[in-house]
Amino acid sequence: MLNPRISLGIDISEHRISVALIKQTKAGLKLLKAGEAPVPQGAMTDGNIANPALLAAALRSLLKRKRIGLRQAAVSLVARPVLIQIVDLPEDPPGNMSQFIRGEIRHSPVLAGKESQHDYRRLQRPSRDGLERILVGASDRDKVADMLRMLSLAGVEPTTIELPFMAATRAIHAEKIANRFNANLLIALLHGAEMTLCVYRKDELDFVRYVNLSNEVNDTDRYMRRSEQEINAVIQYYDMEVSAAGDKWEILAVIENPTIAPNDAEFVLQKGFGLDANVCSPAGVYACTRIARNDKIDACSITAAGLAMRNLNAGGSDLAVNLIPAEAEEAKAAKKFVLLTANLAAAVVLFIFLTAGFVRMQVGRTQTMMERRKMDSPKDSIEQLLAQQRRVNHQISYLSDKKTRMGEIFKGEQIYNWPEILDEIRKNIPATLYITKLTTLGGEGLVIEGNALSFKSIHVFAELLERSACVQSAVVAQTQKNSQVNSMVAYSIACTLSTNQEL
Amino acid sequence: MAKSKVLKLNPTSKVLVSLSSIIIAAMAAYNWTVGPQTSYLRAAHLYEVMVGDAGQMTRVIKTQMNAKTQTVENLNAEIGRIQNSFFTPKQANEFFLDLEPIAHQCDCTVDKLVFLASESVAYKGGQDDSCSINVKRSAISFTGVYPNIIKFLQRLSNYSQRIVINDLHIESNDLIDGELSCQMTITIYLIEDKEFKGDE
Q: Which of residues B84, B107, B127 is at a domain's end?
A: B84
**How many whole angstroms separate alpha carbon A41 and alpha carbon B146?**
154
What pLDDT, on a 0 to 100 scale, did the predictor assign at position A4?
Answer: 61
Residues near A288 by Cβ (< 8 Å), separated by ≥ 6? A171, A172, A175, A176, A254, A280, A302
Burial of A120 (0-12, 13-18, 19+ CB in 10 A): buried
A59 pLDDT more than 90: yes
CB contact under 8 A, A437 and B169: yes
Q: Please state the three-class secondary structure of chain B as a single string.
A: CHHHHHHCCCHHHHHHHHHHHHHHHHHHHHHHHHHHHHHHHHHHHHHHHHHHHHHHHHHHHHHHHHHHHHHHHHHHHHHHHHHHCCECHHHHHHHHHHHHHHHHHCCCEEEEEEECCCEEEEEECCCCCCCEEEEEEEEEEEEECHHHHHHHHHHHHCCCCCEEEEEEEEECCCCCCCCEEEEEEEEEEEEECHHHHHHC
Query: What average pLDDT score do residues B144-158 get?
Result: 92
- Res. B128: pLDDT tops 70: no
Q: Which regions of A214-274 does DSSP assign to beta strands (E)?
A: 249-256
Higher pLDDT, A315 or B93: B93
Give the pLDDT confidence score for residue B200 in this predicted structure: 37
Please list every residue in chain B whose beta carbon sits closer than 8 Å to the beta carbon of residue A395: 72
- pLDDT confidence band for A317 (50 / 70 / 90): confident
Amino acid at A445: G
A20 compared with A388, residue with greater pLDDT: A20
- Asked if residue B140 and residue B44 are part of one domain, the reply reads no
Indicate if B129 and B167 belong to the same structural domain.
Answer: yes
pLDDT digits (tens, 9 = 90+) for A100-144: 888 888 888 888 778 889 999 988 877 777 788 999 999 999 999
What local confidence, expressed as pLDDT, does residue B1 receive?
44
Query: Do B133 and B123 contact (CB within 8 A), yes or no?
Result: yes
Whether residue A427 has pLDDT greater than 50: yes
Least Cα distance to A290 among A379, A375, A170 occurs for A170
Q: Is A363–B44 a contact, with Cβ atoms under 8 angstroms apart? A: yes
Looking at per-residue pLDDT, the higher value among A63 and B173 belongs to A63
With bands split at pLDDT 50, 70 and 90, how would you rate the model's confidence at A6?
Answer: very high
pLDDT of residue A21: 95
> Does one domain contain both B61 and B36?
yes
Judgement on whether residues B55 and B121 belong to the same structural domain of the protein: no
User: Of A253, A309, A210, A259, which Cα lies nearest the Cα of A11?
Assistant: A309
Distance CA B154, CA B159 (A): 9
Q: How many other C-beta atoms lie within 10 A of the C-beta of residue A301?
A: 31
pLDDT recorded at residue B130? 52
- List all residues 6 or more positions away from A312 whose beta carbon is below 8 Å from its beta carbon: A4, A5, A7, A22, A24, A29
B79 and B106 housed in the same domain: no
Place B185 in a pLDDT band, splitting at 50, 70 and 90: very high
**With helix as H, strand as E and coil as C, how does A250-261 read?**
EEEEEEECCCCC
What average pLDDT does the segment B177-200 reach?
Answer: 72
Site from B156, B165, B194 to mutate, A interface, most A CB atoms within 10 angstroms: B165
Instruction: Find out whether A79 and A110 touch, Cβ atoms under 8 Å.
Output: no
pLDDT score for B184: 93
- DSSP secondary structure of A309-354: HHHHT--S-------S-HHHHHHHHHHHHHHHHHHHHHHHHHHHHH
Q: Decide if A338 touches B, using CB distance below 8 A.
A: no
Same domain, B9 and B37: yes
Region A81-89: mean pLDDT is 89
Phi, psi of A296, deg, nearest 5 = -80, -20
Beta-carbon contacts of B162 under 8 Å, excluding residues fewer than 6 positions away, are A410, A415, A503, B85, B86, B188, B189
Instruction: Kindly identify which residue of chain B lies nearest to residue A441, measuring between CA atoms.
Output: B167
Q: What pLDDT is recorded for position B117?
A: 83
Question: What pLDDT is stored for residue A196 in this prediction?
Answer: 94
Looking at residue B46, its pLDDT comes to 87
Question: What is the b/e burial string over B147-157, where b = at least 16 CB atoms within 10 angstroms of the residue's CB?
Answer: ebbbbbbbbbb
CATH number at residue B151: 3.30.70.60
- Count of helix runs (H) and strand runs (E) in chain A: 12, 19
Q: Are B187 and B103 contained in the same domain?
A: yes
Question: How far is A419 from A494, CA to CA, in rounded Å?
Answer: 18
Average pLDDT over residues B63-70: 91
Same domain, B107 and B192: yes
Give percent above pLDDT 90 in chain A. Answer: 38
Residue with the bigger pLDDT between A266 and A163: it is A163
**Is B111 in the same domain as B66?**
no
Complex ipTM value: 0.72
Nearest to A318 by CA among A124, A184, A159: A124
| Chain B residues whose beta carbon lies within 8 Å of the beta carbon of residue A349 | 29
With contacts defined as CB-CB under 8 Å, which chain A residues touch B71?
A: 396
Tell me which chain B residues have a C-beta less than 8 angstroms from the C-beta of A422.
146, 149-150, 153
Q: Considering only residues 80 to 139 of chain B, which have any Cβ-Cβ distance to chain A shorter than 8 Å?
A: 82-83, 85, 121-123, 131, 133
Distances (CA, A) of B51 to A372, B66, B167: 12, 22, 68
For the cut 70, the answer to whether the pLDDT of residue B98 exceeds it is yes
Put simply, the answer to whether B157 touches A382 (Cβ < 8 Å) is no
Report chain A residues whose CB lies below 8 A from the CB of B189: 409
B148 in Cβ contact with B108 (< 8 Å): yes
Instruction: Identify the CA nearest to A193 among candidates A233, A226, A235, A168.
Output: A226
Distances in Å between the Cα of A116 and the Cα atoms of A16, A210, A379 are 26, 17, 89
Which of A399, A408, A429 is the best residue to mutate to test the B interface, defined by the most B CB atoms within 10 Å of its own CB?
Answer: A399
Interchain proximity A385–B82, CB inside 8 Å = no
Q: Which residues of B60-92 are buried (b: 16+ CB within 10 A; e: fewer)?
A: ebeeebeebeebbeebeebbeebbebbbbeebb
> How many domains does the structure of chain B reveal?
2
Selected for mutation to probe chain A from B56, B65, B194 (highest A CB count within 10 Å) is B65
pLDDT tens-digit series, residues A197-249: 999 888 888 899 999 988 888 888 898 889 889 998 998 888 887 765 567 88
A336-393 pLDDT, tens digit per residue, is 888 888 888 888 889 888 988 888 898 888 888 888 877 776 666 778 888 888 999 9
B80 and B105 together in one domain: no
Of B140, B141, B150, B146, nearest in space to B179 by CA: B146
A422, A425, A451: best to mutate for the B interface, most B CBs within 10 A: A422
Residue B113 lies in domain: 89-199
CB A138 within 8 A of CB A117: yes
What is the C-alpha to C-alpha distance for residues A259 and A13, in angstroms, rounded to an integer?
12
Cβ–Cβ under 8 Å, residues A252 and A176: yes
Residues B9 and B96 in one domain: no
Average pLDDT over residues B164-192: 82
pLDDT at residue number B15? 79
How far is it, in rounded angstroms, from Cα A17 to Cα A37?
5
Q: Where does the pLDDT of residue B2 fall: very low under 50, low under 70, confident under 90, or very high at 90 and above?
A: very low
Whether B71 and B151 map to the same domain: the answer is: no
Q: Which of B61, B75, B154 sits opposite A396 (nearest CB)?
A: B75
CB interface of B with A, residues 24-83, below 8 Å = 25-26, 29-30, 33-34, 37-38, 40-41, 44-45, 47-48, 51, 54-55, 57-59, 61-62, 64-65, 68-69, 71-72, 75-76, 78-79, 82-83
Helices A302-312 and A164-172 meet at what angle, rounded to 10? Answer: 80
Domain boundary pick from B84, B100, B125: B84
The closest of A60, A40, A37 to A49, measured between CA atoms, is: A40
Neighbours of B6 (CB within 10 A): 7
Which of B61, B84, B107 corresponds to the end of one domain?
B84
Q: What would the mean pLDDT of B30-55 be, rounded to a whole number?
A: 84
Please count the other Cβ atoms lying within 10 Å of the Cβ belonging to residue A239: 14
| A447: enclosing H helix or E strand | strand A445-452
What gap in Å lies between CA A210 and CA A139, rounded to an integer? 12
**DSSP for A450-480, written as a single string:** EEES-HHHHHHHHHHHHHSTTEEEEEEEEEE
CB contact under 8 A, A399 and B41: no
**How many of the other CB atoms lie within 10 Å of CB of A48?**
17
Q: Of the candidates B86, B69, B75, B72, which has an alpha carbon nearest to the alpha carbon of residue B121? A: B86
Model confidence at B193: pLDDT above 60: no
pTM of the predicted model as reported, rounded to 2 decimal places: 0.57
Tell me which range, A294-303, A306-315, B173-182, is most confidently predicted by mean pLDDT.
A294-303
Please state the rounded mean pLDDT for residues A142-149.
Answer: 91
> How many residues are present in chain B?
200
Buried b or exposed e, range A436-468, using 16+ CB within 10 angstroms: bbbbbeeeebbbbbbbbeeeebbbbbbebbbeb
Provide the mean pLDDT of chain A.
87
Q: What is the pLDDT of residue A76?
A: 94
Output the pLDDT for position B155.
Answer: 93
Mean pLDDT, residues A407-427 taken together:
85
